[in-house]
Structure 1
Amino acid sequence: MTILYLTLAILTFQQVPQQYDGRKGNTVVDIPRIESKISVDGVLDETEWQSAVVLSGFSQYQPVDGRPASDSTEVLVFYSPNAMYFGIRAFERHGDVVRATRANRDNIASEDNIQILLDTYGDARSAYVFSVNPLGVQADGTRSDRSGGGAGGRSATGGGTSSINFLDGNVDLNPDFEFQSQGQLTDDGYVVEVRIPFKSLRYQEGPDQHWGIHILRRVQHSGFQDSWAPVVRASASFLGQAGSITGLSDLDRGLVLDIIPSATARLDGSANDGGDWEYDSGGRLSGDVRWGVTEELTLSGTINPDFSQVEADVGQVVLNERFALFFPEKRPFFLDGIELLETPSQLIYTRRIIAPEAGVKLGGKVGALNAAAIVAVEDNQYSSSGDDNPVFAIARLRGNATEDITVGAVLTTREDVSDYSRLAGADIRMNHHGKYFLELQAVQSWTEVDGSAVSGPLFEATWDRTGRSWGFNYSVEGVAPDFRAAAGFVNRTGTVDARASNRLTAYGAEGAVFETYGAFGTVARTWNYDDISAGPIEGRESLSPSATLRGGWSLRGSFGREFYGFDPNDYADYTILTAPEDTSTFVIPGKEDNQYGGSLSVTSPTFQYFTATGRIGIEDTPVFREASGGSSLSLSATIDLRPTNALRTTFQVTRFQLNRDLDDSRFSTETIPRLKIEYQITPAIFIRFIGQYASRERAPLLDRNGNSILVDGEVDTGNTSNNISADWLFSYRPTPGTLLYLGYGTLLEDAGQQRFRSV
């Protein structure tokens, strides 16, 4: 009998998997290798899962770090020669509150989800993100701890600018990686099975691998985010607090070769002077090729890259803007490996390559350096001669000098026969004392157009403290008047900007109504680059309180004072019509001082069927086109409806109205409603409609005395317009890595505000 008991005890012990409890600090994981391949069906019933290690002991990360997670989570992990497997058991003890729908890819932010972050180089600088909702719907991308902007999108991290909720780093969901997932709801939560093939990853060369790993769980009904590795807010690096994976060896990526052909047709129509419609049609073939040269390097090529997913940019308020607006990159060729192109300033912005005919890109790891290079040939319509093809060349290098110091370099050029725009720069980021980082950047540009050559520098310095209860972000940036970045997004030159932000955060007791609350204050000044001694030309002081309430409600406010000056160069072609045949010089006034304003925004929790957010802003706002005073009212609202598992509707509207101080007359109005409807017919078939209407009206220009303004000798008569766009998309994804898009887009333009009769 004793022998029998002993035998049973040994068998039972052998079946108990190795546990790695995050709260106990057991975050160095030696994962087992299993040679067999299993099916991904959302049911963890294969015998291979009995040999997997288990990651458990999650703790809360948001809204309050350091507390044990309210609901338990277990993540089973093992790997095979060509893939890593994750089996997720997410327990929910609060009843039927799990949020999950058959959403489209990358559209699960408002649902319960699990995020798997893999830092395949183990350098705590960037990581792959693989996220799944309870039904296995996927989102993926990359995450960086940097505070700069990527080539296609913008980001910001830090202690002084993030107010209450610590920002989740620079997360870019534009890249798509091949991986498999399947999930299901259960009586006590949900279960998801995930397979990540090594062919989707770039990683270190060599037989043995050491990776960083984070597992995060988002619980929508409570607004909590849990982490397996015990993460604290008081740190300059989120990825630096990751757990680690050991035991990976002899990985097999196989052949990494993707071929993506596409075809685009267009039909343009417009009314001629006689009122008859005339049409112009055309089409083109395009394609991308992607080859994994090594485990660390990927070579890509493209011909006529296009927006393979037909979707218009989200409308923005434009009538009172002084500078160019930012729109994110969408073309797959440029999105792949876009995290390698990040710089502290937006020195690389691939949408500057407006219509490339062909391009080649190399990205990945070269020795100790992260490297990316792009060469693209642009359509001749964007050449100064109209006959030649401009050439863009972009290179970005970044590497770790030490564990806490990262150095980088950037080179870009646009060559157009004898015209050129080139820049070279270097940057360094130093993490110190756990909570702080210092980032420095110096850049020089050289530009020649039509035989006229100019050059100028750009410099930037940022010091940041990301503490739990208080933090700061201090920065200064100078951009010379003659600085040019033909391959970047630097929308204002000739200024020096300084900003100081300080943050205070408090935390409520467990179960309190206010889970976090606090505020950050900011003081900012802008000087003329060539005449700093003359004093600031713009500035603001603001206080921005915010709070996170129990259940997931979020409140944010801001109020402050600003002042503005008017640049004489913007009004060089202005004169005043004082009588039918008489004009006078346009006099540029002094600063618009003591411009007060405030805003308030409210975001609801993620309820079962909807999420909503709204914002109102009332401010003193200069009318920059007239160099006069004004006041503005801005309204925006978004509601995300999920009536069924397969159907999602998002409606958003933006309204901006600007009145003159002169007589309280209306200078401009902009109204932009946007409707998106998505329907997941089957897990493989998806359809989407996006409709947007942009109504804009601007009154004729008047000076401060009510006289008409002439621009280049012509009386400005104002303008009105409305544009209607409608985009349809059919998506078929029969297997991971195989995707068919069929899209149709239309844009109708009319010169009359809110008028459709002639459209």
Structure 2
Amino acid sequence: MPSIFYSAILTIFSVSSVLLSTAGHAQTDEIPTLVPDPRIVVNGKLDEPVWQHARRITIHFMTQPTDQGISDIGTEARVFDDGQTLYIGFIAPDPQPDKIRAFYRNRDNIWNDDVVGVKIDPYNNKQLAYQFFANPLGSQADSIENAQTGHESASWDGFWQAAGQLTDDGYVVEMAIPFAVMNFPPQAGLKTWALEFVRFMPRDQRVRLSSARISHANKCWVCQMPAYRGFAQATSSTNVIIAPSLVAGRSEQRNVRQHQDWQGENNVELSLDAKWAISPDITLNATLNPDFSQVEADVQQLSVNNPFTLFYAESRPFFTENADYFATPHNLVHTRNISAPNAGAKVTGRTGQHTYGFFAADDDSTTLVLPGNLGSDIAVMDTASKNLAARYSFAYNNMISVGVIGTWREAGDYYNGLSGVDANIRLTAKDTVSLQWLYSQSRNAGQMGLRGEASERYNTDQPFNGQAYRINYQHSERNWRWFGRYDARSKAFRADLGFMPETDWNKFTTGGEYIWHLAADNVINRVRVSGDWDTTHNAAGEFIEDEAEGYAGIFGPRGSYLELGTYQRERVGRRLDNTSLAISGNTERFDEQGLSLFAEVSPAAGMMFFAFWQHGTALDLTNNRLSDQNRIELEGRYSFNRHLELSLRYNQTSMDYQSDRVFTANLTDMRLIYQFSNRSALRLVLLYTDLQRELENYQNMSQQQLNARSRQLNKQLLYSYNLNPQTVFFVGYSDGSLQDDELSRITPSERSAFLKFSYAWQL
């Protein structure tokens, strides 16, 4: 068996090398280095003489909704550098300038507007691409695209400038991107980078125009970016950025059930973030006594009748900086698990074909997800913890990359360590295989407060270990794709620093989609059908779930999309005997089925609406019986003018058993934002949840444990000013209220006022 395995690996490497060598090398264009006189003022006007000598690049290749055709709108990018900064001027004419969508937006919130930008791969190795975009008023968005995982890290924020101006026949955007914001090889003289210049036009269809021919048959768009020579004087800064912060506020709480008075404390803390570019491609980030409070309110989610832990994205700057360096097919580094660190350090870098990252942080407490196969739980320990992660990957060539990862968490008697290897192999431009194998070692602590499945699975103080592996294959053509994936996790596998809420769990999934592209002037311009089938068992081979889903959708005018879906699912219910992890003979099987309808439309600039409805049979997990379930999700955004926007989201889930209501869960999320400029904004957030249970329709035990009504109302008023990602000022107020069966009305239980100021110095 080993000889067959090694022969297969050698064959893959050989075939990929041949494919790479026969692909040829496209002739590269040059980006000039110019000395602007007078100095460039980034104002969206392109009125300095140096712009007349810049490299001119046409953006006219259609890449969405189809990869066929050339636009008759002559968008142009003018590009040069001065040895320290890359300057790009976009001239974007429009035959109907009154339809241009442009509003002042918070960073990374511009994707419903007209947008222009650039993607840059400074290593030209088809692994990662920096993305810099702006709308016609200069509102910014940036991210890092990982070509191996397909993930875009939008939480990354770079230090760069953009400004825009609307004109009589379109708009102009000017960008200044310091080379210091990117990592790239410390190569003297001319360099070869891959760049793609892009324009998005949201009209009846969302059109994407590019400076490059992009084939939909190759899902790696970073791999298709053309190469440009130049940047001879470019050096990535080795300066140090110091960003001290002051956080001050007062928080108060009270026990509303015991009618207590408000009790609170004042809090004033200093913190320090530092960034040192040790070399052009190695960066050190460090933080002391950091402010890791969540200034941004999390997007609320309904958790009723959901047995698994909900996912919340990371938004704290120390962790989001170069987070893509730790990305693998599985989410093994989910830093929201680290809630209150006192100090942290991170080193990330890319040298030639090598990419590596390491971070360490402590935590005043320890929060971890305890995975299972029918549900997961969260454990919180008061014990301080140490958290480590290390990642290394090697790009053998543009077709093959391999990597290793290790994580470690430790708190008193508790620990969890994980190590693994992974590979991403592009067999051809249309065929990709990704592989991952993981091994974990764990030991639990006595004070974890385990319950349910987690108690039976992890109620031991003896060390245990587990394994996991994942195989994914995908084939893509211009109009269709197919994939197959197998994911296996042994009974005791854990990834406590990541987000993997399922274990003792093996799942095979296969599916695909087909898209018909119709004439652009048709009322319906595209038709899409898709579907997948999956089957899940535990590590012992016991059945958990079979599921089949199918969808048919049409794309129409005003950016509209209408999709009809259906699902058929056979699954097991909760365990009848909670003292056993067995599934066969310890659960009942239920058949779920239903229909769904999704609709989305953007009828005019500053307006977007979508609606989702699903009705069918579903398992009532609390009562372990099949019931009728109805789900509604509504969302809308409306811009009253270029500054003021209202967004409203409403979700409702209800369940009936034999025509009697079991529960109704409602969630309302309203946000009113006044964007004074691209840098400052005032925001009001209202988050309201209401869960009503008809307890007479519950089993007896549940009637004694649950509240008939649970309501929460959270409010936040926040003013923010951002000069750059690390020079910020926040001042705000927030409070929270609740109601349950012991309270006759919704009652305030917590409130706080706060301010934060940080300023970044470059030394």
Report the residue type matching 1:313 in the other structure. Answer: D
Name the SS of the counterpart of 1:677 in structure 2: strand
Aligned equivalent of 2:265, options 281, 299, 304: 281
2:320 corresponds in structure 1 to 335
Q: In the superposition, relative to structure 1, how do residues 292 and 219 fare at CA in structure 2: closer, same or farther (>3 Å)? A: same
For residue 260 of structure 1, report the CA deviation from its aligned partner.
4.1
2:253 corresponds in structure 1 to 269
1:523 corresponds in structure 2 to 533
1:128 corresponds in structure 2 to 130
1:709 aligns with 2:724: no
1:350 corresponds in structure 2 to 335
How many corresponding residue pairs? Answer: 690
What CA distance in whole angstroms lies between the structure 2 residues aligned with 1:297 and 1:459? 31
Report the residue type matching 2:103 in the other structure. Answer: T
What CA distance in whole angstroms lies between the structure 2 residues aligned with 1:385 and 1:565? 29
Name the SS of the counterpart of 1:293 in structure 2: strand
The answer (yes or no) to whether the contact 1:236–1:437 under 8 Å persists in 2 is no
The answer (yes or no) to whether the contact 1:181–1:194 under 8 Å persists in 2 is yes
Report the residue type matching 1:248 in the other structure. Answer: F
2:280 corresponds in structure 1 to 295
What CA distance in whole angstroms lies between the structure 2 residues aligned with 1:438 and 1:290? 36
2:116 corresponds in structure 1 to 114
Q: Bigger CA drift: 410-419 or 471-480?
A: 410-419
Q: Bigger CA drift: 500-509 or 366-375?
A: 366-375
Report the residue type matching 2:168 in the other structure. Answer: D
Report the residue type matching 1:238 in the other structure. Answer: W
For residue 638 of structure 1, report the CA deviation from its aligned partner.
1.0
1:744 aligns with 2:733: yes
For residue 77 of structure 1, report the CA deviation from its aligned partner.
0.2
Report the residue type matching 1:408 in the other structure. Answer: G
1:558 corresponds in structure 2 to 565
Q: In the superposition, relative to structure 1, how do residues 754 and 171 fare at CA in structure 2: closer, same or farther (>3 Å)? A: farther
Q: Bigger CA drift: 406-415 or 200-209?
A: 200-209
Report the residue type matching 2:223 in the other structure. Answer: G
Q: Where do 1:232-271 residues align within 5 Å?
A: 232-254=215-237, 255-271=239-255
RMSD: 2.5
What CA distance in whole angstroms lies between the structure 1 residues aligned with 2:743 and 2:261? 21
The answer (yes or no) to whether the contact 1:709–1:716 under 8 Å persists in 2 is yes
Aligned equivalent of 1:370, options 347, 352, 355: 355
What CA distance in whole angstroms lies between the structure 1 residues aligned with 2:118 and 2:603? 22
1:389 aligns with 2:384: yes
What CA distance in whole angstroms lies between the structure 2 residues aligned with 1:736 and 1:302? 15
1:574-629 CA distance string (max 9 Å, x none): 9xxxxxxxxxxxx9652002x11121111112512311111111121101122111
What CA distance in whole angstroms lies between the structure 1 residues aligned with 2:58 and 2:746? 63
Q: In the superposition, relative to structure 1, how do residues 256 and 467 fare at CA in structure 2: closer, same or farther (>3 Å)? A: farther
1:237-283 CA distance string (max 9 Å, x none): 11001012211112244424141414143413223554232312242
Q: In the superposition, relative to structure 1, how do residues 569 and 123 fare at CA in structure 2: closer, same or farther (>3 Å)? A: farther
What CA distance in whole angstroms lies between the structure 2 residues aligned with 1:366 and 1:273? 59
Name the SS of the counterpart of 1:333 in structure 2: helix
Aligned equivalent of 1:721, options 695, 710, 714: 710
For residue 225 of structure 1, report the CA deviation from its aligned partner.
1.2
For residue 368 of structure 1, report the CA deviation from its aligned partner.
2.4
Report the residue type matching 2:31 in the other structure. Answer: I
Unaligned runs of 5+ in 2: 1-24, 369-378, 446-460, 749-763
For residue 671 of structure 1, report the CA deviation from its aligned partner.
0.7
1:331-366 CA distance string (max 9 Å, x none): 111011111111101111111112212111111214
The answer (yes or no) to whether the contact 1:495–1:526 under 8 Å persists in 2 is yes
1:145 corresponds in structure 2 to 147
Q: Where do 1:67-466 residues align within 5 Å?
A: 67-147=69-149, 169-207=150-188, 208-222=190-204, 223-254=206-237, 255-271=239-255, 274-283=258-267, 284-307=269-292, 310-380=295-365, 388-450=383-445, 451-466=461-476
Q: In the superposition, relative to structure 1, how do residues 753 and 422 fare at CA in structure 2: closer, same or farther (>3 Å)? A: same
Name the SS of the counterpart of 1:115 in structure 2: strand
2:31 corresponds in structure 1 to 31
Q: In the superposition, relative to structure 1, how do residues 54 and 26 fare at CA in structure 2: closer, same or farther (>3 Å)? A: farther
For residue 682 of structure 1, report the CA deviation from its aligned partner.
3.6
1:151 corresponds in structure 2 to none
2:55 corresponds in structure 1 to 53
Q: Bigger CA drift: 484-493 or 205-214?
A: 205-214
Q: In the superposition, relative to structure 1, how do residues 731 and 35 fare at CA in structure 2: closer, same or farther (>3 Å)? A: same
The answer (yes or no) to whether the contact 1:369–1:397 under 8 Å persists in 2 is yes
The answer (yes or no) to whether the contact 1:213–1:244 under 8 Å persists in 2 is yes
Name the SS of the counterpart of 1:375 in structure 2: strand
1:477-510 CA distance string (max 9 Å, x none): 0111211111011111111001010211111023
Aligned equivalent of 1:590, options 584, 588, 591: 588
1:706-739 CA distance string (max 9 Å, x none): 75236xxx94344421111112222223468632
Q: In the superposition, relative to structure 1, how do residues 757 and 730 fare at CA in structure 2: closer, same or farther (>3 Å)? A: closer
Name the SS of the counterpart of 1:33 in structure 2: coil
What CA distance in whole angstroms lies between the structure 2 residues aligned with 1:377 and 1:642? 43
Q: In the superposition, relative to structure 1, how do residues 645 and 345 fare at CA in structure 2: closer, same or farther (>3 Å)? A: same
What CA distance in whole angstroms lies between the structure 2 residues aligned with 1:329 and 1:199? 24
What CA distance in whole angstroms lies between the structure 2 residues aligned with 1:115 and 1:556? 31
What CA distance in whole angstroms lies between the structure 2 residues aligned with 1:333 and 1:570? 45
Q: In the superposition, relative to structure 1, how do residues 481 and 419 fare at CA in structure 2: closer, same or farther (>3 Å)? A: same
Aligned equivalent of 2:629, options 616, 629, 632: 632
Report the residue type matching 2:442 in the other structure. Answer: T
Q: TM-score, normalised by structure 2?
A: 0.86
Name the SS of the counterpart of 1:49 in structure 2: helix
1:144-168 CA distance string (max 9 Å, x none): 2233xxxxxxxxxxxxxxxxxxxxx
The answer (yes or no) to whether the contact 1:695–1:754 under 8 Å persists in 2 is no
1:653 corresponds in structure 2 to 650
What CA distance in whole angstroms lies between the structure 2 residues aligned with 1:701 and 1:256? 64
For residue 514 of structure 1, report the CA deviation from its aligned partner.
2.1
For residue 53 of structure 1, report the CA deviation from its aligned partner.
0.7
2:457 corresponds in structure 1 to none
For residue 681 of structure 1, report the CA deviation from its aligned partner.
1.9
What CA distance in whole angstroms lies between the structure 1 residues aligned with 2:707 and 2:361? 39
What CA distance in whole angstroms lies between the structure 2 residues aligned with 1:665 and 1:329? 40
The answer (yes or no) to whether the contact 2:270–2:289 under 8 Å persists in 1 is yes
What CA distance in whole angstroms lies between the structure 2 residues aligned with 1:209 and 1:743? 47
Report the residue type matching 2:201 in the other structure. Answer: V
2:681 corresponds in structure 1 to 686
Q: TM-score, normalised by structure 1?
A: 0.86
The answer (yes or no) to whether the contact 1:626–1:701 under 8 Å persists in 2 is no
Aligned equivalent of 1:486, options 496, 502, 507: 496
For residue 518 of structure 1, report the CA deviation from its aligned partner.
2.1
1:401-421 CA distance string (max 9 Å, x none): 122001111100101233210
Report the residue type matching 1:32 in the other structure. Answer: P
Q: In the superposition, relative to structure 1, how do residues 744 and 209 fare at CA in structure 2: closer, same or farther (>3 Å)? A: farther
What CA distance in whole angstroms lies between the structure 2 residues aligned with 1:273 and 1:521? 50
1:507 corresponds in structure 2 to 517
Aligned equivalent of 1:614, options 607, 611, 614: 611
For residue 66 of structure 1, report the CA deviation from its aligned partner.
1.7
The answer (yes or no) to whether the contact 1:31–1:246 under 8 Å persists in 2 is yes
Name the SS of the counterpart of 2:408 in structure 1: strand
The answer (yes or no) to whether the contact 1:588–1:627 under 8 Å persists in 2 is no
What CA distance in whole angstroms lies between the structure 1 residues aligned with 2:46 and 2:74? 17
Q: Bigger CA drift: 247-256 or 232-241?
A: 247-256
What CA distance in whole angstroms lies between the structure 2 residues aligned with 1:178 and 1:520? 40
The answer (yes or no) to whether the contact 1:58–1:230 under 8 Å persists in 2 is no
For residue 327 of structure 1, report the CA deviation from its aligned partner.
0.6
What CA distance in whole angstroms lies between the structure 2 residues aligned with 1:54 and 1:27? 17
